[in-house]
């Protein structure tokens, strides 16, 4: 099938823009794991464009097409890992995720081998190698979008909060389009094969037959990658660690790291002194910018210090750590009213005080006082 010239132009533009993004990230941000993951994801999408566009490869069943399809398969789990490392401050990935990702890639590879060798269609095999994989693909994509939206309100990184919106509206929707196309084609092929009396060969999928045309997909992909590039240029160099995560840097210059660590160490000491000595956490409706003003620093630097170097997931957790510790000490050592203690340590409502306290000690303030004042 010969594509119109304007469709070929946008396919080429989308692929070239993604390749430019890869080169940019490798040159400017290669020391960050997340940047490398985004580069790998972009290469996978380029492979998907090449192999799914009619007329780009002469033989749809060639060995080169088989290899490109296997690389493109990695786009789905890679998107999940990008979302996880960008938006989840805890980086202990559970073994089940690796097992599911391995199953997904292995069974897609088996399906590719069966297609490449022109094996006959077997419904039971098709269920395991295609249909279950589509469910896994939906799971990866939907959970990646969930991780991007879950911690938006309390995110300590201003630029990462903006990235959450862009990630959901741009990057995830790109993969959602591929999921929709593949799910539609796979289900259609499966139903047609069941109705056929003979055993057809496992078909290859082409975007020319998909509900979302290759032109629309390419235009969207080109604009999405272009916007991401422009947004990257807007972020100052010194704010990149707060976005990509300083814990995942590679090839860091020791002298620069030492100077940065010294400045961060001073800021962390100032933050701790503001909370432990000045009791700033007792201020109602304390926000990050209030703390930044108090320590005479920039808001993004305070967010980075709390998030990347003090180990807190968000500003709410940071505040609760000091407020609940203060409240617990007063519950043990005084007879003050519980409601007064909650209000004095910074909580506006008793419900929020009780919730934070129970999350920390697995007991209400009243239960905690009864358990820890025994014998007084």
User: Is residue 223 located within the same domain as residue 297?
Assistant: no
Q: What percent of the chain has pLDDT over 90?
A: 16
Residue 194: is it exposed, middle or buried by C-beta count within 10 angstroms (0-12/13-18/19+)? exposed
Q: Which residues contact 111 (CB under 8 A, 6 or more apart)?
A: 129, 130, 133, 202
pLDDT at res. 3:
63
What 3-state DSSP class applies to 249? strand
Alpha helices in the chain (DSSP H): 5-28, 33-52, 63-73, 75-87, 95-116, 123-126, 132-150, 158-166, 172-195, 214-234, 240-244, 254-276, 288-294, 299-304, 315-333, 338-344, 350-361, 365-372
What dihedral angle (degrees, nearest 10) is formed by the CA atoms of 330, 332, 336, 338? 90
Pick the closest to residue 225 from 76, 3, 58, 16 (CA basis).
Answer: 16
User: Is residue 313 located within the same domain as residue 202?
Assistant: no
- Tens-place pLDDT, residues 315-344: 888 899 999 999 999 998 888 899 899 989
Backbone φ and ψ of 267, nearest 5°: -65, -40
Q: Which residues contact 251 (CB under 8 A, 6 or more apart)?
A: 30, 31
User: Is residue 218 located within the same domain as residue 241?
Assistant: yes
- Domain with residue 330: its CATH number is 1.10.10.60
pLDDT at res. 305:
84
| Mean pLDDT, residues 235-263 taken together | 54
User: Is residue 285 located within the same domain as residue 197?
Assistant: no
Residue 40 pLDDT class (50, 70, 90 cuts): very high
User: Is residue 268 located within the same domain as residue 341?
Assistant: yes
Q: What percent of the chain has pLDDT over 70?
A: 70
CB 76 within 8 A of CB 44: no
User: Is residue 50 located within the same domain as residue 85?
Assistant: yes
- Tens-place pLDDT, residues 66-104: 888 889 889 889 989 988 888 776 567 889 999 999 999
User: Is residue 188 located within the same domain as residue 307?
Assistant: no
- Asked whether the predicted pLDDT for residue 105 surpasses 80, the reply is yes
CB 74 within 8 A of CB 105: yes
Tokens of 75: 């786009």
User: Is residue 313 located within the same domain as residue 231?
Assistant: no
User: Is residue 211 located within the same domain as residue 163?
Assistant: yes
User: Is residue 303 located within the same domain as residue 260?
Assistant: yes
- Domain with residue 142: its CATH number is 1.20.1070
- Asked whether the predicted pLDDT for residue 240 surpasses 70, the reply is no
In the chain, the number of structural domains is 2
Comparing 33 with 292, which gets the higher pLDDT? 292
Judged by average pLDDT, the poorest of 56-70, 97-111, 189-203 is 189-203
CB 357 within 8 A of CB 367: no
Domain range enclosing 332: 255-372
Tokens of 168: 């959901």
User: Is residue 277 located within the same domain as residue 212?
Assistant: no
Domain end among 199, 225, 246: 246
Domain end among 225, 246, 267: 246
d(CA 29, CA 241): 10
d(CA 188, CA 92): 39
Domain end among 194, 213, 246: 246
CB 249 within 8 A of CB 279: no
User: Is residue 315 located within the same domain as residue 208?
Assistant: no
Rg (CA), the chain: 26
């Amino acid at each position: 099938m010969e594509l119109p010239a304007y469709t070929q132009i946008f396919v080429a533009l989308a692929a070239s823009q993604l390749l430019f993004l890869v080169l940019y990230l490798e040159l400017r941000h290669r020391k960050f794991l997340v940047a490398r993951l985004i580069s790998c994801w972009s290469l996978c999408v380029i492979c998907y464009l090449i192999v799914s566009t009619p007329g780009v490869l002469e033989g749809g069943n060639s060995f080169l097409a088989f290899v490109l399809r296997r690389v493109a398969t990695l786009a789905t789990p890679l998107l999940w890992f990008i979302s996880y490392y960008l938006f989840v401050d805890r980086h202990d990935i559970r073994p089940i995720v690796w097992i599911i990702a391995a199953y997904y890639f292995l069974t897609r590879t088996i399906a590719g081998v069966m297609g490449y060798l022109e094996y006959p269609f077997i419904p039971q095999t098709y269920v395991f190698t295609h249909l279950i994989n589509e469910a896994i693909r939906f799971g990866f994509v939907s959970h990646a979008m969930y991780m991007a939206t879950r911690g938006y309100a309390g995110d300590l990184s201003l630029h990462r909060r903006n990235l959450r919106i862009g990630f959901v509206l741009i990057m995830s929707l790109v993969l959602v389009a591929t999921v929709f196309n593949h799910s539609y084609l796979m289900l259609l092929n499966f139903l047609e094969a069941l109705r056929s009396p003979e055993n057809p060969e496992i078909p290859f999928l082409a975007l020319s037959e998909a509900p979302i045309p290759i032109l629309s997909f390419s235009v969207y992909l080109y604009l999405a990658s272009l916007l991401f590039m422009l947004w990257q240029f807007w972020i100052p160099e010194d704010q990149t660690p707060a976005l990509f995560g300083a814990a995942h840097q590679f090839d860091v210059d020791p002298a620069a790291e030492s100077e940065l660590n010294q400045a961060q160490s001073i800021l962390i000491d100032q933050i701790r002194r503001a909370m432990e000595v000045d009791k700033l956490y007792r201020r109602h409706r304390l926000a990050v910018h209030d703390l930044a003003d108090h320590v005479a620093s920039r808001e993004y630097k305070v967010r980075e210090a709390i998030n990347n170097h003090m180990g807190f997931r968000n500003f709410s957790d940071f505040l609760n750590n000091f407020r609940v510790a203060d409240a617990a000490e007063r519950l043990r050592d005084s007879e003050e009213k519980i409601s007064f203690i909650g209000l004095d340590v910074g909580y506006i409502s008793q419900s929020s005080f009780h919730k934070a306290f129970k999350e920390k000690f697995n007991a209400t303030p009243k239960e905690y006082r009864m358990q820890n004042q025994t014998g007084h």
